[in-house]
Structure 1
Amino acid sequence: MSRNSSASDPNMITPSHPRWDEFQERLAGDEGCGSLSGDKDSWRCRHDHRYSRQILVQMGVEDPTLNLTLLAEQGGRCDCEILFNVAGAPELAELVEDSVGERAS
Structure 2
Amino acid sequence: VGAKKAMEMLLTGEAISAADALAAGLVSRVVPAAELEATVRALAGRIASSSPFVVAIGKRAFYRQLQMPQPLAYDYAQDVMSLNAAAADAQEGMKAFLEKRPAQCGR
When the two structures are superposed, what TM-score results if normalisation uses the length of structure 2?
0.29
Structure in which a larger fraction of residues adopt helix:
2
When the two structures are superposed, what TM-score results if normalisation uses the length of structure 1?
0.29
Larger Rg: 2
